């Protein structure tokens, strides 16, 4: 099943989780920061990740979703990191809602974990356990959609 892992990461937290997800899966086209507004080819599963910034996904991620060529994406799974507040916050809910509005089938379960915030908060996050859980999430979602 062709899979694409896409993320936006300012501080590297979401990138670390994206790389763990991509490493776990077969047939991953790319794991990359937000590229042009379309997948390079049709994908069965798009893992899409963002950090949470003041309760919102990054504006670059929002713009990407607005211009996403949905004819090339069958399913999406959302993941993210947050330096404060709850691990699964409003940013993930916003991304899921935007994808659904575009008619993409979005996996209900999302993955989220804490990320370091400045130098004082969540200093060692995402940690080894977060990476392990991200890999497990990726495998679970991938296997649930694999035909």
Query: Which tokens in the block code for residue 44?
Result: 């069965």
Omega before 57 cis (within 30°)?
no
Q: Over the stretch 3-16, which tens digit does the pLDDT of each residue have?
A: 889 888 877 788 88
Q: What's the whole-model pTM score?
A: 0.86
CB 14 within 8 A of CB 7: yes
Q: Tell whether domain 3-145 is in CATH 3.40.50.360.
A: yes
Block residue for tokens 């035909």: 147
CB 99 within 8 A of CB 78: yes
Q: Over the stretch 18-60, which tens digit does the pLDDT of each residue have?
A: 999 999 987 776 666 666 656 667 889 999 999 887 888 988 8
Average pLDDT value for residue range 88-117: 88
pLDDT band at 135 (very low <50, low <70, confident <90, very high): very high
Q: Which letter does DSSP use for residue 117 in this model?
A: B
Phi, psi of 105, rounded to the nearest 5 degrees: -70, 120
CA distance linking residue 130 with residue 17, whole number of Å: 8
Q: Where are the alpha helices (DSSP H) in 25-123?
A: 59-67, 90-101
CA distance linking residue 102 with residue 45, whole number of Å: 15
Domains of the chain by residue range: 3-145
Instruction: Give me the chain's average pLDDT, please.
Output: 83
């Amino acid at each position: 099943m062709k899979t694409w892992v896409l993320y936006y990461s300012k501080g590297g937290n979401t990138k670390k989780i994206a790389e763990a997800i991509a490493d776990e899966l077969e047939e991953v086209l790319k794991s990359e920061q937000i590229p042009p507004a379309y997948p390079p080819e049709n994908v069965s599963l798009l893992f899409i990740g963002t950090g949470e910034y003041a309760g919102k996904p990054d504006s670059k991620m929002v713009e990407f979703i607005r211009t996403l060529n949905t004819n090339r994406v069958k399913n999406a799974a959302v993941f993210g990191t947050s330096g404060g507040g709850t691990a699964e916050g409003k940013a993930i809910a916003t991304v899921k809602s935007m994808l659904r509005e575009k008619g993409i089938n979005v996996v209900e379960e999302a993955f989220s974990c804490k990320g370091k915030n400045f130098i004082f908060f969540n200093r060692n996050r995402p940690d080894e356990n977060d990476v392990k859980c991200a890999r497990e999430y990726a495998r679970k979602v991938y296997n649930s959609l694999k035909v």
